Copies of this chain bind each other. A is one copy, B any other.
């Protein structure tokens, strides 16, 4: 993984990397449709790879009520069209005078990679099948804080727009380039700043550069017996700077915390100087804390160059488990009870029946003894315990800690499962649930070729409004689908990936066939906007962890007061008066 970082002779360029750049993830991995209509994940990067899965296409066709037809596919662009760069001569001349030419590029493909994130309809769909109109004009790869300061200084001097860029996995259109930006636009790629600056094992802190990916950070720490424990679904690709900029959440937040719990100090270089604390602070009372504003800054404000995070010794034990419940409401009641206890595992997730059945399809056709065992299990669950295969839901758990801690959690979770009429499902099913997490984005890209648009949406909602929000979002999707005469049946599925004291995160997966649908991407985008309205009208928040970007900026007025919005604009005006960081996310639209 990330072998290029170890090679001193070759510097990182996004257009010459093992990641796709436009589609999600790695070039060695994608799903393909075999002639026998099984589906396989190519490569050997993931556990799911190399398995012919027979149930996937039947599931998709059943749920969407359309045929997956290799004769009727969207054509991917062969050449990725992009306009010529808008060059600010004086700026470029100064750059060339100061930096060697392996520090920047005007190459079309590198520019295009830096002109979008991973939002399905507005970004990925368009760059792959259509075109993106607004692009960056140059890509600069910073290698130090001094570089960041220099770029900002030059941008101020020559009125250039800067766009910080980490892993490019934004799903809020945060990386979408504003159409009305007329200045030269330079993407500041941070990924060459991917080192650990220091580790303090006694105090359990690490200082890392902002361009480090989650995987690399964990890899380097593991060598010393430590972990940060932040595991967003995008861990292989997303960076520390991006996590702070989006106020990210990770799978194991119950044990390790979300990004605001993990990070003790941030350094951001802004046009008015560096925002940081002189020392990382164990909990302190220092008055109003400017650092608190950097979480969720979404590229509007400066370049994050490094941060100090809490680290933990690798746990003695890591163990999976799972449980199935008769239906969604029972599963939610289980999660509610779990949230009040002292045995919440590092990760606890509940998936609905639709997602549970989807998970069942990402398996090989069982053979021989395995087939027999599967049949017995199924029989036990469906016939002996009386579970309805179209109602049952599943919870998956990952437990980490000392042997005693894990035993304590496992024992108590089993007891609570029984109390709610559930069945303990075992470690294998638990592990499988998490395995799918990293495959999902590849599924999206696979299905889009077959004219199926899929997207995820997420929200935080109080316990008392979970069902209301799920029902309202589902109804809105189905109403819009019918209203617009879209083929087949819409796909809606949800899970609860995080539980909290007062509420949960709900993570929706939506999809629909767009065969013969005009302006499919824009239509889908408008439907998503309307579903967000329905979510928020019923008590859901603007976002749990994906952030606001441009996708949800319309909902900021329903989230914070007008005076709060003014405050943020004032902060922007005072710290970036020339709008150097002109990405226009959140309330900072022109």
Contact = CB atoms under 8 A, between A and B. Distances in A.
Nearest to A297: B288
A502 interface: yes
A558 B205 CA distance: 20
Most B Cβ at <10 Å: residue of A295, A310, A340, A342 = A342
A400 to B, nearest CB: 10
Interface in A269-297: 270, 272-297
A300 B461 CA distance: 33
Interface stretch (A8-16, A368-376, A523-531, A566-574): A566-574
A543 to B, nearest CB: 5
A287 B279 contact: no
A310 B408 contact: no
B574 A541 contact: no
Contact of A462 (B200, B291, B543): B200
Contacts of A585: 287
A358 to B, nearest CB: 26
Contacts of A431: none
A60 to B, nearest CB: 30
Given A285-B296, A460-B282, A277 B202 contact: no
A160 interface: no
A561 interface: yes
Interface residues of A, number: 92
A464 B285 contact: no
Nearest to A287: B586
Most B Cβ at <10 Å: residue of A200, A288, A544, A547 = A288
Given A288-B293, A289-B296, A561 B502 contact: no
A226 to B, nearest CB: 12
B500 A283 contact: yes
Contact of A562 (B273, B313, B340, B544): B273
Contact of A401 (B293, B342, B566): B342
B564 A281 contact: no
A190 interface: no
Given A203-B502, A287-B548, A502-B310, A559 B282 contact: no
Contacts of A235: none
Contacts of A310: 501-502
Interface string A124-159: 000000000000000000000000000000000000
Contacts of A498: 283
Contact of A283 (B279, B412, B460): B460
A249 B283 contact: yes
A275 B203 CA distance: 36
A558 B249 CA distance: 31
A464 B297 CA distance: 32
A567 B275 contact: yes
Interface in A484-543: 498, 500-505, 539, 541-543
7 contacts: A200-B464, A205-B462, A247-B286, A247-B289, A272-B567, A286-B556, A287-B548
Interface of A: 200, 202-205, 246-249, 258, 264, 270, 272-298, 300-301, 310, 312-313, 340-342, 401-402, 404-405, 408, 412, 460-464, 498, 500-505, 539, 541-548, 556, 558-564, 566-568, 570-571, 574-575, 585-587
